[in-house]
Amino acid sequence: MNASDKYRKYLISIQLTDKRLFAVWGTDLSDDERDKLIISNAGMIICSVDFRAFKDYLLKNVTSFFDVDNLSKWLLEVGSADLSVSYDFNNIRRFIKNKNKISDVEKGELIEIVDFLNIALDYSTQIDSMYLNSRLNERNVLMFKDYVYNNFMWNSDSNQIDSRMDNEFDLKKFHIHLLEILDSIKVSLLEV
């Protein structure tokens, strides 16, 4: 078993236009197994362009973060090759832009968007952001997630969801909310 699965901490990257940032997301095994990101006391997502410097910073300040014991052990074992997932904000923006219907978007792109929305929800819950929560719980965002889960991630009868997507889902409104969520996360990044 690799360190990430053993300690349930994961190295993620966020690709912005001009740089790639490393961050950490994981399960807080000391707090009802809530999923969290490593954040500052001010609620900013701690990240860095340099993996080695990032890891050193986290080790030096580990007692400031969640699930200290497991995080410490994970940090001692993890390397940059252990990257679990990468979110390219520009690609996520483009996935939906200029699409007329959800079926025009590739399956992998839909799954990447849902994965990003789930990380954003974990962060929003962690910092209790009314702004992010309102966007993440917006009707079209929830319908989008249901559609992707039912059609591509779970084995389920998707006819009812597909019908709702055809009749009720507003792709343009979804795209607006997705952009707001992306921008909110982007301004919440704190480079160390």
Out of 71, 87, 103, a domain closes at 87
Alpha helix (H) residue ranges in 66-190:
68-77, 89-96, 107-127, 130-136, 139-148, 159-167, 171-186
Together in a domain, 95 and 76: no
Give the pLDDT score at 25.
98
Q: Are 152 and 110 in contact (CB under 8 A)?
A: yes
Give the pLDDT score at 163.
64
Give the count of domains, the chain. 2
Together in a domain, 72 and 155: no
Out of 87, 118, 133, a domain closes at 87
Give the pLDDT score at 72.
97
Query: Is 192 part of any domain?
Result: no
Out of 58, 87, 116, a domain closes at 87
Together in a domain, 160 and 180: yes
Q: Residue-wise pLDDT tens for the chain (192 aa)?
A: 899 999 999 999 999 988 999 999 999 999 999 999 999 999 999 999 999 999 999 999 999 999 999 999 999 999 988 999 999 999 999 988 878 888 888 889 999 999 999 999 999 999 999 999 999 999 999 999 999 998 887 765 555 556 667 778 999 999 999 999 999 999 999 999
Q: Domain range for residue 145?
A: 90-187
Query: Is 146 part of any domain?
Result: yes
